[in-house]
Structure 1
Amino acid sequence: MSLANTKTAYGAVTRSLHWLTALGILIMIPLGWIAHFAPWETEAQLAVKAQLFSAHKTIGVALFFIALFRILWALTQTKPAPLHPERRAEVLAAESVHWLLYSTLVIVPLSGWIEHAATEGFAPILWPFGQDLPFVPNSDSVAETAASVHFLAQWLLVAALALHVAGALKHAVIDRDGTLARMLRGAEGGSHGASHVVLRPVALALAAWVAVIGGGAAAGMFSTEETSAAPQLAEAQSDWQVTEGTLAISLVQMGKKIEGSFADWTAEIAFEPRETPGKAGEVTVQIAIPTLTLGSVSKQALGADFFNAEDYPTATFTADILRADSGYEAQGTLTLKGAEVPVTLPFDLTLENGTATMQGSTTLDRRNYEIGGSMNDPDQLSFEVAVDVALTATKN
């Protein structure tokens, strides 16, 4: 049994890679769909969904490397001649589908991997080499673009696979030739003098990609605009004008830290510094909840079971600014999702030439606001949510 190809037969390596790839596809595609549609309303359901996605991602990464090796191996091998070189249209169609399969076998898992690496969330890849990819930033826009490519490419893969299987069945049932036997057991077949055309099949495969990606772009699948309508916050009438700042949160889901932030918020600040303990001012912060990004679980976080951004689009923190023995703190109430809960935010403050720079952190209990009420296991979703605030403001 020859490991390498000949002009009339496929070698053992090529055939093994072919069937290993086929097995991977037949597992990965339905597993991905099952994971996507699996419910996650309860702790047990979320755990199963995460396991399904982890298995899907792990098989996808493995298939990516198998596909790369298969392509590199094919480039170094003699390609057996077609059995019917006189059927030029059929040969062209078959080779075009092969190139389409090769490209989708790389792009489908790679785009999924890029989406995974660009964002945060549950369902890690089950291997010891980390979850990131070189040159892939932690970016929601990158993740959304990769997700769109992944979605479109999977259907192109399904179409190419269906055409490939239909061609194989035609050869086996209608033509009754040795095409399938060549890939099953390395049977000989084809003419030594027959040749393959390369440029036209590649061009046709590329045209299929252009059509699919172009159609997706025309349908707006690559848009990174917010899907939830964010409220228009009124401009804060403040003694101090915030020039820059971040309002970030973080929590732990399925053992992994997830970090996010609110893109739109305002702060109305009245403040006079003092050296002794006592009240130094007041602050009111308005937060547009739909502007939250939280890795791969952003949409889930804004849903009815969590922040319920549609019914509660804003949150408000109203507090007194107090000088304490060790610095400053804001003591007040956070109104979120209809609940009013006392919150204290200690912060460090630096004042210089009419510019104030502050950094503060506190921890909230999501249960106080009925966020993730069905998630009662802190190992799946931590009760504690860390809040980190940093801003720079100038005196008006």
Structure 2
Amino acid sequence: MRRYSLIAIFLHWAIAALLAFQIAVGSALEDLGARGFALFQLHKSIGITILALTVARVVVRYTRPRPAPVEGGWQGALAKGVHGGLYLFMLGAPLTGWALVSTAKVKVPTLVFGIIPLPHLPLPAGANDPALAAHALLAWVGIALFALHVAGALRHHILLRDGLLWRMMPARSPLLLVALPGLMAAGFLLGRLILPAPAPKAAAAQEKILTVEEQSPTDTTAVADNAVNAAPPAEVENSAAEPVGPPPAWTVQPGGTIGFSVGNGGDTIRGSFSRWTAKIVMDPDHPETADLRVEIDLASASVGDAYQDGMLAGDEFFGVAAHPKAVFTVKGAEKTGANSYRASGTLTLKGASEPQAIRFTLSGVGAKRKVTGSASIARAAFGVGNGESSTGLDPKVALNFRFNAKAE
């Protein structure tokens, strides 16, 4: 029996294995939220690979001789229909997926396997819903066609015993007869194995979420303050002495950091802001003189991954286009220990202004001090993480900062 060309055979089994992987992964992506971000990027890369291989398969189909059909009648018509439908699926599913990410509200850059940049298609935002519906429909149609194609091949090989399956083998070998179809099973199994474990649903975590949701906006300072400091502050004696002269201004030295972290299921996402400025006026011996203003360039946020950095700038998170900066201001602070302080101010982020507390310590003497501190921010109050990809994120974001300052 005449076989397909070697290139056609290679493309057939490569596409089949990749499709099995996509089916295993794609069926679970919707429920993973933020935990499935890396897997979603892989899903896109595999999809574009399938598109490229399918285009090559179409070219080979019409440029290389192929075996004649072995069956006529309604069975032959059904086989042709399934083959045609599979080609439409293998082209249509990646194209609608490409259209989907190109018109999404959150613009995420696409790098195929983290290397090759893939431009967004020039489509209007209104195409997003139709692309989503078409992509979902094609997925189910493709699964049905995939199953029919496998069933047809097994019918010919087991029931009709006409050797049809050997046409898609490079040689008549029982080993290849097991190994090549086994690629599909391996692809599906691999897709299931790399899915993240279900997010833990501990009672304590649920109580934490309820506590944040039940607080009114005016309670934000108390919530953040309690989250950072579980233990009560140490009692200190208030100095009755009045400050001598105006409080000094401090210049932040190069090398400081502002970092953030948030729980993501069983993992933690960590990042930092690379561009920020701080204007500080404060007498450490008289913290009530504190006058602070910190401005953070939100476009400088990074978690070390180009895909996720692109999402951070979008409307689902920081909305950088409309709100490029976050501003934290403080008028007055209080001493809570020998070198520790607490300050309550206002955080303005993404168009919302809410009370916010920070804790910090000062080390060193004289005109040079080292500053370290932290805060806990309820992200929902600022609309940060307001989409489906954020469902796995903890309700609070931990902020930490560290820098050296010199008195002017």
Bucket of the pairwise TM-score, normalised by the shorter protein: 0.3 to 0.5
Q: Which has the higher contact order (CA 8 A, sep 6+)?
A: 2
TM (norm. structure 2) is 0.45
